Amino acid sequence: MKIDKLSFSSNSVLSDPLEWVYELEDIGYTGWEMVQEGSQCITSENRHRIEEVLETTNLYLTMHMPFSDMNIAGLNPGIHAEVLRQMKNYLALASDLVEIAVVHPGYMSPYGGKIPEKAWEMNIRSIKELCDTADEYGISMAVENMPDFPKIFGKEPEEMLRMLSDIDRENVGMTLDVGHANTTAMLEGFLDKCINKIIHVHIHDNMGKRDEHLPTGSGTVNWEYVKKGLEKYKGRMVTELSDLEEGRKSIEFLKQL
């Protein structure tokens, strides 16, 4: 399997990412996906350090929008406005640094579950707003399919296609998360039905029940089908793992596919 466009991402690493990001090229990675969570968040104070990474390495940078405590389908006006404010701020801070930003769809809160059509509308409106902001900075939004969590949007291929159609923006596409799709037993469906919408890929493994983020080859993901399904895909793939050692294991497995 081709790994010339392979990036590393980890929201499990709670230390300063610049303590380990310089090791990525030695392992065999050509990119880094910066997760806007905890110590990894880009700020006006640390942006110069991110610029230094890009100036002193050949790493390609992508960005994962925050997801902890974030619900873009939320129906509380004040909280929802703050969620979008923070996300738009990250897009502005990443201007000229990234070309792709990954975003999770929203989910139905206890109140949203009573009026799911309103939660869906809020989810679509939110991603539209993010796309419009991202477009100002030359960034594409890549909406990620979700694992088998209750009341969350984006678990099924048809729903992802409907979501992208409803968003109706030129700078939006899909992040195929292979591990997430394995928990819903819909990996083949995503590869078969959504391949023309996929602009970004997350790869990790699991045993088919929970979103475990195991190294590739350590679970039940059908990697031969993934290889075949992504044969014509030209974009970037990102391993989402706990640490660099798992990154090494994943690269060795992918090389042998």
What is the DSSP track for 119-168? HHHHHHHHHHHHHHHHHHTT-EEEEEP--S-TTBS--SHHHHHHHHHHH-
Residue 108 resides in a domain: yes
Residue 169 resides in a domain: yes
Average per-residue pLDDT in the chain? 96
Q: What pLDDT does residue 14 have?
A: 64
Q: What pLDDT does residue 204 have?
A: 98
Q: What pLDDT does residue 38 have?
A: 83
| Residue matched to tokens 């159609």 | 165
Residue 237 resides in a domain: yes
Residue 71 resides in a domain: yes
Q: What pLDDT does residue 149 have?
A: 96
CA atoms of 21 and 207, how far apart (whole Å): 28
Q: What pLDDT does residue 239 have?
A: 98
| Residue matched to tokens 């890549």 | 142
DSSP symbols for 76-113:
-HHHHHHHHHHHHHHHHHTTTT-SEEEE---B--TTGG
CB 27 within 8 A of CB 244: yes
Q: What pLDDT does residue 17 have?
A: 78
Q: What pLDDT does residue 181 have?
A: 98
Residue 161 resides in a domain: yes
CATH number of the domain residue 127 falls in: 3.20.20.150
Q: What pLDDT does residue 18 have?
A: 81
Domains: count for the chain: 1
Domain that holds residue 26: 6-256
Residue 40 main-chain phi, psi, to 5 deg: -90, -5
Residue 191 resides in a domain: yes
Of 215, 52, 137, 125, whose CA–CA distance to 117 is shortest?
125
Compute how many other C-beta atoms are within 10 angstroms of the C-beta atom of residue 239.
Answer: 27
Phi-psi region of 168 (alpha: psi -120 to 50; beta: other; left: phi over 0): left
Residue 1 resides in a domain: no
pLDDT tens digits for range 52-91: 999 999 999 999 999 999 999 999 999 999 999 999 999 9
Residue 64 resides in a domain: yes
Write out residues in the chain with pLDDT < 50, as ranges: none
